[in-house]
């Protein structure tokens, strides 16, 4: 009797294993792009002169679509002249006897704002801190955002997104 029950159970499992249900409804259309393609990050480079006239900030529209769940990263060029560039994720703090200077940013899905912040009087800063500051803005598509990713590591981020120096079009 036990063998008969086991046989019936196995036969039922095998019968249901081969069954197929009705085809489900068509899913929503994805964003524009190649079907199944990888969406690469969009990026640009910008040089900023911070001064009292622009309230020590720059607001720049992306010029391309940014979706609500995408993440914007901003890196500042941090290297002596003539050497290979070092790119640091902002915010970045610089400590002076007079106070703290912070390069910072915020963003929406329309634009990015890069600004000076901190406790120091910006008017006393030398030109090396306020003029000709170069930033790289990278928009990471939501599909590529990974909590384990070290966004401090510029090289890892650009490699993950397939970006090269040529992808950073300079804006003025």
The residues spanned by each domain of the chain are 38-171
Find how far residue 161's CA is from the centre of its chain.
9
Which helix (H) or strand (E) is 154 found in, with range?
helix 154-161
The per-residue pLDDT for 38 is 43
Q: Quick check: 48 and 74 in contact, CB under 8 A?
A: no
Residue 117 pLDDT greater than 60, yes or no: yes
- Please give the Cα distance from 114 to 168 (Å, whole number): 17
pTM tops 0.75:
no
122-146 pLDDT tens trace: 999 999 999 999 999 999 888 767 7
Q: Which residue, among 138, 164, 165, has the nearest Cα to 64 in the 3D structure?
A: 138
């Amino acid at each position: 009797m036990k063998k008969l029950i086991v046989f019936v159970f196995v036969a039922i499992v095998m019968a249901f294993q081969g069954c197929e249900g009705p085809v489900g409804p068509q899913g929503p259309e994805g964003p524009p792009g190649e079907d199944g393609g990888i969406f690469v990050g969009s990026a640009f480079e910008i040089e900023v002169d911070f001064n009292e006239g622009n309230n020590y900030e720059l607001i720049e529209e992306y010029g391309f679509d940014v979706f609500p769940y995408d993440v914007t990263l901003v890196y500042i060029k941090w290297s002596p002249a003539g050497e290979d560039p070092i790119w640091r994720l902002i915010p970045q703090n610089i400590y002076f006897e007079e106070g703290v200077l912070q390069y910072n940013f915020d963003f929406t899905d329309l634009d990015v704002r890069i600004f000076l912040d901190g406790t120091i009087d910006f008017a006393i800063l030398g030109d090396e801190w306020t003029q000709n500051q170069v930033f790289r803005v990278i928009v990471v598509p939501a599909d590529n955002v990974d909590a384990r990713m070290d966004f401090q590591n510029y090289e890892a981020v650009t490699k993950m997104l397939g970006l090269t120096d040529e992808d950073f079009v300079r804006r003025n």
